[in-house]
Amino acid sequence: MVQPEKTSPARTSADVESELVRLREQIDAVDRALLEQLNQRAQLVRAVGDLKRTSGAPVYEASRELRIVEALVRANRGPFPDAGLAPVFREIISATRSLEEPVRVAYLGPEGTFSHEAALQKFGELACLSGVATIPEVFSAVENGKAELGIVPVENTTEGVVTQTLDALAEFEVTICAEEVLRISHDLLSKSGRIEDVRRVASHPQPLAQCRRWLAAHLPDAERVETASTAIAAHLAAGDASVAAIGSGVAGRVYGLRSIETAIEDRRDNSTRFLVIGTEQSPPSGSDLTSVVFTIRKDEAGGLHRLIEPMASRGVNLTSIQLRPIQGKPWEYLFFLDLEGHRSEARVAEALAAASAVANSTRILGSFPRADVAPSAGGR
């Protein structure tokens, strides 16, 4: 004979409310304990800052921050998601770093650009961020000591390399000390948030190109207006209800705009790689890139082959080769190479020394932690 299943008695609304109160009280107690631990961390960071000031050590160390998050991911038993650790601790680190000494970071402004968003993603909301008008001005601010760090776009998965950044790397005496990858998602923003009000669509030429199919399908008759940046487009939309801007969610918040549609880009793999520049070398993190720029004699047959052969023979992988013309020297070029490993590693050092021996000139731009070391990785 089949026995009927036993059912637990129905819980009354009073029972549910009582249980919610009990659980929320426990959550509040945990939050207070977290706050106490955060204040203990802040006291320790302040002590670290005092030591750094007396020793002259840099405030920002990219490899240290990555190691913090990596260790936390390895120790995490759940159910808190691993992917949530990086953004949470980025803000904790940003807040406590301000107790050491505010780190001034220059970026390609104004507020609301994707460079601004990348700076926020890398350094957190409490970083001392300063927008400047051009990429060379970011480099100049770091070289002249107006900012300790700068963040600049160097490569986009859709549009390719940012030539202004390569040219500035060759011109200015700075060091690449970190990188960041930002997933570029374009929103259509306006004052009203209504697509029927839109007569013109404004943005930087790259976002306009990257959203071409969506615009053709949904706003085929709207005028396209090119602006110097997505932030300028957002500012234009804030003052004219008939204008919609293509930009980031950060731009929408900065300029008080509503979203008509999110993620209107044609490609979902659209990302921009940013470089963090400074004046201090980054120590090895265990997963690094080294950037170097060479020149070779234009009249030497097989010069490029001889330049890169030492990397291949020593098992050093090249991840990128870019070239830029040398100003004032027609048909001569700068060769920018990114290779896996830190300059302090024996095989990397040997490869660089051998390549330098056949090059006309060599300059190591920096060794730095790869962005994809972080558990979650995030233009203009």
Q: Which of 216, 210, 246 is nearest to 229 (CA)?
A: 246
pLDDT recorded at residue 357: 94
Residue that is written with structure tokens 């609304």 in the block = 13
In this structure, are residues 378 and 181 in contact, taking their beta carbons and an 8 Å threshold?
yes
Q: What are the residue ranges of CATH 3.30.70.260 in the chain?
A: 281-373
Render pLDDT for 206-232 as a digit per residue (tens, 0 to 9): 899 989 999 999 999 999 999 988 999
Is it the case that residue 375 has pLDDT exceeding 50?
no
CA distances from 109 to 129, 159, 181, 226, 368 (A): 10, 20, 18, 17, 24
Please state, for a pLDDT cut of 70, what percent of the chain lies above it.
94
Could you say which architecture CATH assigns to the domain 102-183+271-275? 3-Layer(aba) Sandwich (3.40)
- CB-CB neighbours of 36 under 10 Å: 10
Could you say which architecture CATH assigns to the domain 187-261? 3-Layer(aba) Sandwich (3.40)
The string of DSSP codes covering 170-204 is: HHS--EEEEEEEEE---EEEESS--GGG-SEEEE-
Length of the chain: 380
Binning pLDDT at 50, 70 and 90, where does residue 8 land?
low
- Give CA–CA dist 115/111, Å, rounded: 9
- Give CA–CA dist 155/168, Å, rounded: 14
Q: Judging by DSSP bridges, how do beta strands 200-203 and 223-226 pair with one another? A: parallel
Binning pLDDT at 50, 70 and 90, where does residue 4 land?
low
Q: Which of 44-53, 78-87, 121-130, 336-345 has the highest mean pLDDT?
A: 336-345
Q: Which CATH class is domain 281-373?
A: alpha beta
- Give CA–CA dist 138/148, Å, rounded: 11
CATH topology of domain 31-97: Chorismate Mutase Domain, subunit A (1.20.59)
pLDDT recorded at residue 331: 83
- Give CA–CA dist 291/319, Å, rounded: 10
Per-chain mean pLDDT for the chain: 89
pLDDT recorded at residue 260: 97
- CB-CB neighbours of 380 under 10 Å: 24
Distance of CA 320 to the CA centre of its chain: 19
Query: Active-site residue among 123, 274, 294, 335?
Result: 274
- Give CA–CA dist 128/124, Å, rounded: 9
- Taking the model in full, what pTM does it have? 0.79
Render pLDDT for 160-195 as a digit per residue (tens, 0 to 9): 899 999 999 999 999 999 999 999 999 999 999 999
Is it the case that residue 36 has pLDDT exceeding 50?
yes
* Buried-state track 323-351, b at ≥16 Cβ within 10 A, e below 16: ebeeeeeeeebbbbbbbbbbbebeebeeb
Query: Active-site residue among 113, 165, 272, 290?
Result: 272
- Give CA–CA dist 92/52, Å, rounded: 19
In this structure, are residues 87 and 105 in contact, taking their beta carbons and an 8 Å threshold?
no
Mean pLDDT of 140-166: 93
In this structure, are residues 255 and 294 in contact, taking their beta carbons and an 8 Å threshold?
no
Mean pLDDT of 26-38: 92
Binning pLDDT at 50, 70 and 90, where does residue 141 land?
very high
φ, ψ for residue 21, nearest 5 deg: -60, -45
pLDDT recorded at residue 9: 59
Compare 301 and 69 and report the one with higher pLDDT.
Answer: 69
Q: What are the residue ranges of CATH 1.20.59.10 in the chain?
A: 31-97
User: In the β-sheet with 288-295, what is the strand arrangement from edge to edge?
Assistant: 318-325, 333-340, 288-295, 361-369
In this structure, are residues 289 and 368 in contact, taking their beta carbons and an 8 Å threshold?
yes
What are the structure tokens assigned to 94, written together? Answer: 């940003």
What 3-state class would DSSP assign to 107? strand
Determine which helix (DSSP H) or strand (DSSP E) holds 233, and give its type and residue range.
helix 230-239
Q: What are the residue ranges of CATH 3.40.190.10 in the chain?
A: 102-183+271-275, 187-261
Compare 82 and 97 and report the one with higher pLDDT.
Answer: 82
Binning pLDDT at 50, 70 and 90, where does residue 373 land?
very low
In this structure, are residues 273 and 138 in contact, taking their beta carbons and an 8 Å threshold?
no
What are the structure tokens assigned to 105, written together? Answer: 């970071």
Render pLDDT for 262-319 as a digit per residue (tens, 0 to 9): 999 998 888 999 999 999 999 998 899 999 999 988 767 788 899 999 999 999 999 9
Determine which helix (DSSP H) or strand (DSSP E) holds 129, and give its type and residue range.
strand 128-132
In this structure, are residues 120 and 96 in contact, taking their beta carbons and an 8 Å threshold?
no
Q: Which of 63, 44, 13 is nearest to 282 (CA)?
A: 63
Note if 274 is an active site residue: yes
Evaluate the CA torsion angle 16, 21, 25, 27 in order and state its sign.
positive
